[in-house]
Amino acid sequence: MRRRFVAFKLIIIVSCTLSGFPQLFLPIEFLATDMYWVQYFPEKFVRFIGFYELVCALGFSLSLLIKKYSHRITIFTSLLLSAFMFGAMAANIYLGRPSLIVPSLSFFAISIYILYYYINYSKKNNLEEN
């Protein structure tokens, strides 16, 4: 079971990093050629999205490195990522591209799955300690 969550976290870390860095550092004109949604949002918002993705990647990285706070960091980061992916799905539907929600939906599902597991695991451990 643990290997599955490590694999999910690694997939999220790599994808958020590969997506976040370009959004944070590349020129908007270049991003607009690869990411259709960039043209609909202000530059600061696009940069914020890149920063947000890097924060999620950093959060999942820290959850793998810092064992003492791993559950808390994972729960917080999963919550951040699921909110972000929900917004991405809503934006794709609003912009008239519902077929492009598949990547957002898959990462949303993974983050909710991780969140659900870690919250239940935390509750179970709290009940056993009392």
The whole model's pTM is what? 0.84
Residue 26 has φ and ψ, to the nearest 5°, of: -80, 155
What integer is the mean pLDDT of 11-21?
92
pLDDT (tens digit, 9 = 90+) per residue, 28-79? 999 988 888 899 999 999 999 999 999 999 999 999 999 888 888 999 999 9
Count how many Cα atoms sit within 13 Å of the Cα of residue 79 in the half-sphere of its side chain. Answer: 8
Buried b (16+ CB within 10 A) or exposed e, 28-37: eeebeeebeb
What integer is the mean pLDDT of 13-40?
91
Confidence check: pLDDT of 85 > 50: yes
Q: What is the pLDDT of residue 129?
A: 47
pLDDT (tens digit, 9 = 90+) per residue, 90-114? 999 998 888 889 989 999 999 999 8
What integer is the mean pLDDT of 13-22?
93
